[in-house]
Homo-oligomer: A and B are copies of this chain.
Amino acid sequence: MVKKFVYSFSEGEAKMKELLGGKGANLAEMTKLGIPVPPGFTLTTEACQDFYKDGQNKIADGIIEEYKIHVKQLEDSLGKKLGDDEDPLLLSVRSGAAVSMPGMMDTVLNLGMNDISVKGLINKTNNPRFGYDSYRRFIQMFGNVVMGIDGEIFEKELHTVKNEKGVEFDTDLSADDLQKVIERYKAAIQKTAGKLFPQDPFEQLKMSVEAVFGSWNNDRAILYRKLNDLKGLAGTAVNVQVMVFGNKGNTSGTGVCFTRNPSTGENKFYGEYLMNAQGEDVVAGIRTPLEIQALKDQNEAIYNELVSYRDNLEKHYTDMQDMEFTIEEGKLWMLQTRNGKRTAAAAVRMAVEMVKEGLIDEEQAVMRVEPAQLDQLLHPHLDPVAVKELTPLAIGLPASPGAAVGKVVFDAHLAHELNESGEDVILVRNETSPEDLIGMNASNGILTARGGMTSHAAVVARGMGKCCVAGCSTAKIDEHARTLEFNGKVFNHGDVITLDGSTGAVYEGSVPVTEPELSGDFGALMEMADKFRVMLIKANSDTPEDTKVAVKFGAEGIGLCRTEHMFFEASRIKAVREMIVAKEQVEREKALAKIEPFQQKDFEDIFKVLEGKPMIIRLLDPPLHEFLPKEEKDIEDVAAEINVSVEELRSTIESLHEFNPMLGFRGCRLAVKYPEIPAMQARAIFKAALTVPGAKPWIEIPLTGKVEEYLNVKKVIEKVAEELQVGNKVDYKIGTMIEVPRAALTADEFAPHCEFMSFGTNDLTQMTCGFSRDDAASFLTKYVELGIYEKDPFQTIDQEGVGKLMEHCVITAKEANPDIHIGICGEHGGDPDSVVFCHVIGLDEVSCSPYRVPIARLAAAHAAIMYPPHDHDCDCEDEGCDCGHDHDHEHSH
């Protein structure tokens, strides 16, 4: 059987998304639902794959023949012909991959226009201006998108004609003027591309399809796929559809609408439209469109019809839809429907409300919200008190919520560079285009002067979870001069402004921010998520304050309390330094005795907040030199304070100098050499736990590599427990951090002696991959760029490398001690992909920063839904196991 590469819209359905792309499948589905869709056909994603086959970048002849048959069918059913001089068929050509991909926005409208068909269009519409305008738009679009000619060249020609005529708007140009534009465009194409604009409509079609396929691998699309972690797609489909015109006068129009508000989630029809315009006019944000409700006054029948499709489609897809429509001379056509992008707040509200409405179930609701997206809700907002005192510079559209403070930058690449060097940046553009993606990604927020709530900037910013103020028309932006002006007040490159994406306000300078208030819907969603997840979610915290936040966000305990943070406080650093310069154990013990009551109080305060939830307390970890001064002046001051000579202190500092401190004298190595340190800490912990009822300390020995060093320190802790007669008065555990590869490799030796283990994936990644996090910037960015690492392994666990070691550790540790509790407490604990991985390899808990606890809770729920835990004894050594789960993922050996 010959492979079918082309499907008519009436042949497909929504399920065929992989093959027809999202847009094509949905056009087919709408056709199936009886919704008016201009007829057309789809070249499949497999045709795209075929295009790239053997690196030839060529459409096979057979595929051309196949789509020509479909064109013929369109001609026959509509009684029009491509390039006809009486009633020409005009087509749109659009890309459409299985996943929406704004990076690849190559669209061609009015295909079929040429010197002959323009006469046919005029003949048919009796509107020469429309005819020539359609023709010049086509040449411009085709020349830019298909032939790759800089859009500005066409703008320049258009300006020349407008200047000659002395008019401001395109609409002021007559048919004759437009003919001049057409001639200038053709000449410009010949001059720039070195070839003629193609008159043959089939040549136009072939070139357009090739351009769409080609755009699959342009830099923007590749970047988008990388940023969004899209892998394993065959390619893009191409949708070829009969043109309908929103620009045939005042009974025509075009618009974009959402079944619910994509910014707030409110269940209210939401959208924008423009009369007498083509679709790109709305999206590109050149003219400012009207609210969809205004259509009711303009044409109630059409509005009601649109509302009925809204209801129909949302019920059909059980999700919020993002739709495009065109009205051609009073007739409504639906051009597209798809699941709409939304802000985190909207995603949460919709998910919860749709459950209440009975549209979806709880599992679906949980899966509807991307964990990473929650970050938007959890980020601080502008301090409302501070804002009250301020007058905004301007108010734009609240295109993507949140707050952003940063330096004004006018160029995407510059924004990227500045961000790389650690600056907070706000990208300021008249409007954004896919070329700006890299800069948007690098910025804290985006400010545009033009474009609406569905403009490129707004859509992309929401997708990225970035704050965005769009269409701020009072902002005068000169991108070349690098100035941003509000009523005469000028901001230059590097000046700081603040954006409030929730109100659209722009402020001068840096405005203070406050904590987010989590809405009721948020809580409801979290409760649903908690029903599914199996991993415990804890937080990393060293203070009662952070612990309060963590508990508020649902942390089930503390997964990492770094005791050294307590050492730095002014009240105790002196004793810490005395301890370090001590020559003898006796002196060291004397200094430690001063620190002990502080430590005890620290732990008591946190235990109280925890109210019986467990806390993993890591013993002193950093190298001692971190506690000593570095500058000469400070050395003198400290020497005086702790009563040693400057020479002595300097010699201590020198003796503690290390070439590679990360791999130096720290962690349990300190504890082994100076057992009085862990003894003091254990005493403080046990005394605190004896004081606060229900306290559950899990004492963690850091940086172990060999079980002997773990046992050495464990013995010290146990001795203290014995001395204090802790007995079973305190429910405590002793365990280790797994951060040295050697410990992971020999987990079977550790496990029988550990009640818990916790992966310190920051250090584990550093040692396993052999690069220091502090130093890796010099090459890691380049590595991610080159695709050597797909993602920064310090952000998302390097599953193939570090992950393999973790998996080995978990399998062998649990074999050696089935009761062992294993978690993770690196920063990876707040990264959704890493959380899923942790679930898959069988971890019992994840600990992350307090603000990321809800993200981890949701990610853990996603993981449990995607990879349900085994509920029977399946011996996975047995390849024949048919428990229905994906063993490769669940426990690859």
Q: Verify B770–A703 contact, CB threshold 8 A.
A: yes
Give the residue of B705, B709, B801 whose beta carbon is less than 8 angstroms from that of A745. Answer: B801
A163 CB–B CB distance under 8 Å = no
Q: Verify A770–B708 contact, CB threshold 8 A.
A: no
A568 CB–B CB distance under 8 Å = no
Give the residue of B768, B772, B789, B798 whose beta carbon is less than 8 angstroms from that of A659. Answer: B772
Interface residues of A in 766-798 (CB under 8 A from B): 766-772, 774-776, 778-779, 782-783, 786-789, 798
Please give, as numbers and ranges, the residues of chain B lying within 8 Å of A766 by CB-CB distance: 663
Give the residue of B659, B741, B776, B783 whose beta carbon is less than 8 angstroms from that of A770. Answer: B741
Give the residue of B774, B786, B788 whose beta carbon is less than 8 angstroms from that of A660. Answer: B774
Give the residue of B672, B746, B769 whose beta carbon is less than 8 angstroms from that of A783. Answer: B672
A475 CB–B CB distance under 8 Å = no
Q: In the complex, what distance in Å separates the CA atom of A448 from the CA atom of B795?
A: 63
Interface string of A646-688 (1 = CB under 8 A from B): 0000000000001111111100010011000000000000000
Least CB distance, A477 to chain B, in whole angstroms: 32
Least CB distance, A862 to chain B, in whole angstroms: 27
A180 CB–B CB distance under 8 Å = no
Give the residue of B763, B775, B789 whose beta carbon is less than 8 angstroms from that of A664. Answer: B775
Q: Verify A805–B741 contact, CB threshold 8 A.
A: yes
Could you say how many copies of this chain the assembly holds? 2
Q: Verify B665–A770 contact, CB threshold 8 A.
A: no
Give the residue of B665, B709, B775 whose beta carbon is less than 8 angstroms from that of A658. Answer: B775
Q: In the complex, what distance in Å separates the CA atom of A712 from the CA atom of B749?
A: 38
Interface string of A119-148 (1 = CB under 8 A from B): 000000000000000000000000000000
Closest residue on chain B to residue A659 by CB atoms: B774
A81 CB–B CB distance under 8 Å = no
Q: In the complex, what distance in Å separates the CA atom of A779 from the CA atom of B788?
A: 36
Please give, as numbers and ranges, the residues of chain B lying within 8 Å of A786 by CB-CB distance: 672, 708, 712
Q: Verify A767–B779 contact, CB threshold 8 A.
A: no
Q: Verify A705–B664 contact, CB threshold 8 A.
A: no
Q: Verify A770–B772 contact, CB threshold 8 A.
A: no
Give the residue of B740, B775, B782, B788 whose beta carbon is less than 8 angstroms from that of A706. Answer: B788
A165 CB–B CB distance under 8 Å = no
Q: In the complex, what distance in Å separates the CA atom of A742 from the CA atom of B772?
A: 14
Least CB distance, A420 to chain B, in whole angstroms: 14
Q: Verify A658–B772 contact, CB threshold 8 A.
A: yes
Closest residue on chain B to residue A765 by CB atoms: B742
Q: In the complex, what distance in Å separates the CA atom of A544 from the CA atom of B805?
A: 42
Please give, as numbers and ranges, the residues of chain B lying within 8 Å of A661 by CB-CB distance: 659-660, 775
Please give, as numbers and ranges, the residues of chain B lying within 8 Å of A775 by CB-CB distance: 658-661, 663-665
Please give, as numbers and ranges, the residues of chain B lying within 8 Å of A888 by CB-CB distance: none
Q: In the complex, what distance in Å separates the CA atom of A763 from the CA atom of B749?
A: 24
Please give, as numbers and ranges, the residues of chain B lying within 8 Å of A802 by CB-CB distance: 742
Please give, as numbers and ranges, the residues of chain B lying within 8 Å of A749 by CB-CB distance: 800
A739 CB–B CB distance under 8 Å = yes
Please give, as numbers and ranges, the residues of chain B lying within 8 Å of A776 by CB-CB distance: 663-664
Q: Verify B742–A663 contact, CB threshold 8 A.
A: no
Please give, as numbers and ranges, the residues of chain B lying within 8 Å of A672 by CB-CB distance: 779, 782-783, 786, 788
Binding site for B on A (CB under 8 A): 658-665, 669, 672-673, 703, 705-706, 708-709, 712, 739-742, 745-746, 749, 763, 766-772, 774-776, 778-779, 782-783, 786-789, 798, 800-802, 804-805
Query: Which 9 interchain pairs have the tightest Cβ spacing?
Result: A660-B772, A740-B770, A663-B772, A742-B801, A664-B775, A659-B774, A708-B788, A658-B775, A660-B660
Query: What are 25 residue pairs bridging A and B, where the CB atoms are less than 8 Å apart in the complex?
Result: A658-B772, A658-B775, A659-B772, A659-B774, A660-B661, A660-B774, A662-B663, A663-B663, A663-B767, A663-B771, A672-B782, A672-B788, A673-B782, A705-B768, A706-B789, A708-B786, A739-B770, A740-B768, A740-B770, A742-B798, A745-B801, A745-B805, A763-B770, A767-B768, A767-B770
| 12 further A-B pairs in the complex, CB-CB below 8 A; given A741-B767, A749-B800 | A659-B661, A660-B775, A663-B766, A663-B772, A664-B772, A664-B776, A665-B778, A665-B779, A712-B788, A740-B770, A745-B805, A746-B800
